[in-house]
C-alpha cells in the first residue's frame, strides 16, 4: 500500500525544483504535471483519462458516502476497457471495483453472467477463491468471500444462494472467527456475516479500537497500517450494529491536511471512518472540493497520482521554460533522471537514450554534448539521413532533441513532394522548422516557399490540430512571411481560442475536437509567438523580453 500523504507523511505536494526559488504563477502550473510515480513531468492529455477501475471505485464510493448522487456516462468502449482491466486484475475484487460504476450508470460494467461466474469460484467448504491472489490462507479466503458476497448482494443474487451453500459459508465463517486476530480479517469476516444477515460473534466485537495516542510517533508506513486497521474496526462494529469508538480529534486533522493528496482508497476509508464517528459535514468540504475538481465530463474522476511521467514530457517542459525565460534549474527532475538511469530499467532504445541525454544537458545548464549524444545523433536509425513527407515529423523532433543535447547535426537529404494537402503542407513546414531549430535555416529547399505556405496559413480551418497549423505559420514567417491583418485574423481564429484548460491556463489544447491540453502544441504556439516578437500575446507575461 502506498504511504499516506499530508498529515500521514510530511508532504506529497512539494513539486519539482527548488522550493526557495520564486517563480511566476504561470511557471508554477507545471508543478501540477509532476508524476507521483517517477518524478518526471507527464503529458497533460493524461488528465483527460479517468482513474483506473480500483481508484475510480473508491472515488465514486466517497462521493456517494458524502451524499452526492454521482452519475457516469462512459462510452461503451471505455466501459468494456475498464471491465477487461478489472477482471484481469481479479475476477472477484475486479467485479467489486466495478460496482460503483454499475450503480452510477455504466450498466455494461456488470451483466447477468457475473453472478454465475462469481459462484463458480466458490468451494465446497463454503469460501470463495480468487485465483489472482495466489494464496489460500484464511486472509485470502476471507477477502475473496467478502468480495464475492458484495457482488452477489449488489446484483440481487444473494437470496438465490442454495440453502446448503449458504449454510456451508456461514459455518466456515463462524469456525474461522475463532482463529481471527488481525483487524482486516475480522472486518472482512464481520461484513460477510452481515451480508448473509447473520450476527457477528461477540468476541469479535470486543476487539479494541486501534490506538491513536502514539500517532505522532509512527512512521509513514505504520500510520498507513493504522488507518487500514481503524477502517476494518469500523466495518466490524457497523456489521455488529454498534457505534465505532473512533477519536475524531485525531482523524479529522488527518483528513483536513490530506484531502488534496491522499490516494482515493485511503481517502474513502478515512471518510468512512469519520462519517461513522459522527464528524460534521464541514469536515468533508475539502474532499468534495478535490473530487469535484477531478471530475471529467463523463462523470468519472481522473487520478493524477497514477500518471507516469517521461523524459519526453519533461523535455518539453524545459523547452517551454526556456521560451518564457524561466529558470530550468530543477533538482528534483535530475533526481528522477538519475533514479531511472540507475534502476536498471531505463529503456536503451536510441530515442529514449537521446531524450535523457538532452534532458540532462538542458537541466544542468548546457555544456559540451556527451559522446553518447553525438553518436546517437549521427546514427541514421535515430536521426534519419533522408527526410520524406512520411518521416518529417520524427526527423524534426529528433533534430530538436539533438540541438537540446548540444549536438550540431548535418543537413539531411530532403525529398520533394507536392504541398497540396494539409498533411503534406504540414510535412513541408516541419522541414523548415526542423532546419531552423538545428541552426540550418539556409538549407531549406527551394521548392518550399513562403507564397505556397501563405495560401494555407490564412485558412486554419483546413487543419486538424493547432500544432500543425502553428508549424505552417511558423515556417511561413521563417521564409519571410509578414504578419499582416489577414494573417493576424486567421491566427486569432486558429490558435487563440484554444488557450487554457483546468489547472493549466497557459497551455494550449490540441484542437480538431480534442480538448486535451498538450505540451507539444504549446511549444509550437509559444515558439511562433516568439518569432512574431510576441505580437499575438500567447507567451506568458514578460516572456518576450527574457525568453530564448
pLDDT digits (tens, 9 = 90+) for 338-385: 999 898 888 899 999 999 999 999 999 876 667 889 999 999 999 999
Q: Report DSSP letters for 430-443, one per residue.
A: HHHHHHHHTT-GGG
- From residue 361, how far is each of 319, 358, 440, 454, 519 by CA, in Å? 12, 5, 21, 36, 19
- The CA distance from 204 to 189, in Å, is 9
pLDDT for position 14: 39
Please check the confidence at residue 45 and state whether its pLDDT lies above 60.
yes
pLDDT band at 430 (very low <50, low <70, confident <90, very high): very high
Backbone angles phi, psi at 301, to 5 degrees: -120, 150
The pLDDT > 70 percentage for the chain reads 94
pLDDT for position 317: 97
CB atoms within 10 A of CB 478: 20
DSSP alpha helices (H): ranges in 91-162? 93-103, 113-119, 138-154
Please check the confidence at residue 444 and state whether its pLDDT lies above 80.
yes
275-294 average pLDDT score: 95
CB atoms within 10 A of CB 322: 17
| Residue 508, strand partner residues | 499, 518
pLDDT for position 548: 52
pLDDT for position 18: 46
Residue identified by cell 457475473 is: 114
- pLDDT tens column, 296-343: 999 999 998 889 999 999 999 999 999 999 999 999 999 999 999 898
Please check the confidence at residue 535 and state whether its pLDDT lies above 60.
yes
Q: Which run of H or of E encompasses 169?
A: helix 163-177
pLDDT for position 6: 40
The answer to whether the CB of 121 falls within 8 A of the CB of 148 is: yes
Please check the confidence at residue 15 and state whether its pLDDT lies above 70.
no
Tell me the average pLDDT of the chain.
91
Give the CA dihedral 267, 268, 274, 278, nearest 10 degrees: 140
Q: Which residues of 372-391 are buried (b: 16+ CB within 10 A; e: fewer)?
A: ebbebbeeeebbbeebbbeb
141-157 average pLDDT score: 97
pLDDT for position 5: 39
Backbone angles phi, psi at 293, to 5 degrees: -70, -20
pTM comes to 0.77
Q: Which of 13-22, 296-305, 455-464, 503-512 has the highest mean pLDDT?
A: 455-464
- The CA distance from 432 to 435, in Å, is 5
Please check the confidence at residue 48 and state whether its pLDDT lies above 90.
no
Amino acid at each position: 500500500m502506498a504511504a499516506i500523504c499530508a498529515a500521514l507523511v510530511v508532504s506529497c505536494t512539494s513539486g519539482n525544483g527548488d522550493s526557495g526559488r520564486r517563480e511566476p504563477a504561470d511557471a508554477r502550473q507545471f508543478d501540477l504535471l509532476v508524476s507521483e510515480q517517477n518524478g518526471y513531468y507527464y503529458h497533460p492529455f493524461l488528465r483527460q483519462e479517468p482513474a483506473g477501475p480500483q481508484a475510480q471505485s473508491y472515488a465514486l464510493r466517497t462521493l456517494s458516502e458524502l451524499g452526492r448522487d454521482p452519475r457516469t456516462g462512459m462510452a461503451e468502449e471505455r466501459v468494456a476497457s475498464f471491465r477487461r482491466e478489472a477482471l484481469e486484475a481479479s475476477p472477484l475484487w475486479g467485479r467489486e471495483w466495478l460496482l460503483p460504476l454499475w450503480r452510477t450508470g455504466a450498466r455494461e460494467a456488470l451483466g447477468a453472467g457475473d453472478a454465475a461466474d462469481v459462484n463458480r469460484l466458490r468451494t465446497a467448504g463454503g469460501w470463495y477463491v480468487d485465483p489472482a491472489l495466489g494464496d489460500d490462507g484464511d486472509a485470502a479466503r476471507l477477502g475473496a468471500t467478502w468480495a464475492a458476497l458484495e457482488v452477489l448482494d449488489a446484483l440481487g443474487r444473494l437470496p438465490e444462494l442454495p440453502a446448503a451453500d449458504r449454510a456451508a459459508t456461514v459455518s466456515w465463517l463462524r469456525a474461522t472467527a475463532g482463529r481471527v486476530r488481525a483487524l482486516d480479517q475480522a472486518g472482512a469476516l464481520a461484513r460477510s456475516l452481515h451480508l448473509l444477515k447473520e450476527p457477528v460473534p461477540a468476541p469479535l466485537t470486543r476487539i479494541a479500537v486501534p490506538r491513536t495516542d502514539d500517532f505522532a510517533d509512527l512512521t509513514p508506513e505504520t500510520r498507513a497500517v493504522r488507518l487500514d486497521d481503524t477502517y476494518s474496526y469500523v466495518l466490524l462494529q457497523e456489521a455488529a450494529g454498534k457505534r465505532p469508538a473512533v477519536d475524531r480529534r485525531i482523524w479529522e486533522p488527518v483528513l483536513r491536511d490530506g484531502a488534496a493528496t491522499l490516494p482515493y482508497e485511503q481517502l474513502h476509508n478515512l471518510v468512512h471512518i469519520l462519517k461513522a464517528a459522527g464528524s460534521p459535514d464541514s469536515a468533508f468540504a475539502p474532499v468534495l472540493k478535490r473530487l469535484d475538481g477531478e471530475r471529467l465530463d463523463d462523470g468519472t474522476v481522473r487520478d493524477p497520482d497514477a500518471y507516469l511521467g517521461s523524459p519526453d514530457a519533461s523535455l518539453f517542459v524545459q523547452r517551454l521554460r526556456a521560451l518564457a525565460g524561466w529558470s530550468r534549474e530543477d533538482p528534483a527532475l535530475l533526481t528522477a533522471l538519475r533514479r531511472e538511469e540507475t534502476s536498471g530499467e531505463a529503456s536503451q532504445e536510441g530515442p529514449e537514450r537521446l531524450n535523457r541525454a538532452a534532458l540532462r544537458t538542458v537541466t544542468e545548464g548546457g555544456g559540451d554534448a556527451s559522446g553518447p549524444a553525438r553518436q546517437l545523433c549521427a546514427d541514421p536509425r535515430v536521426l534519419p539521413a533522408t527526410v520524406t513527407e512520411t518521416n518529417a515529423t520524427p526527423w524534426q523532433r529528433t533534430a530538436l532533441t539533438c540541438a537540446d543535447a548540444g549536438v550540431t547535426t548535418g543537413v539531411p537529404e530532403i525529398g520533394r513532394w507536392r504541398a497540396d494537402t494539409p498533411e503534406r503542407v504540414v510535412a513541408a513546414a516541419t522541414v523548415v522548422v526542423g532546419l531552423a531549430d538545428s541552426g540550418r535555416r539556409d538549407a531549406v529547399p527551394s521548392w518550399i516557399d513562403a507564397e505556397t505556405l501563405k495560401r494555407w496559413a490564412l485558412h486554419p480551418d483546413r487543419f486538424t490540430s493547432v500544432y500543425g497549423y502553428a508549424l505552417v505559420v511558423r515556417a511561413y514567417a521563417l521564409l519571410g512571411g509578414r504578419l499582416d491583418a489577414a494573417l493576424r485574423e486567421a491566427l486569432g481564429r486558429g490558435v487563440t481560442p484554444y488557450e487554457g484548460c483546468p489547472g493549466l491556463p497557459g497551455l494550449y489544447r490540441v484542437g480538431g475536437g480534442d480538448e486535451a491540453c498538450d505540451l507539444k502544441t504549446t511549444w509550437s504556439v509559444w515558439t511562433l509567438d516568439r518569432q512574431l516578437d510576441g505580437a499575438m500575446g500567447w507567451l506568458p507575461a514578460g516572456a518576450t523580453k527574457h525568453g530564448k
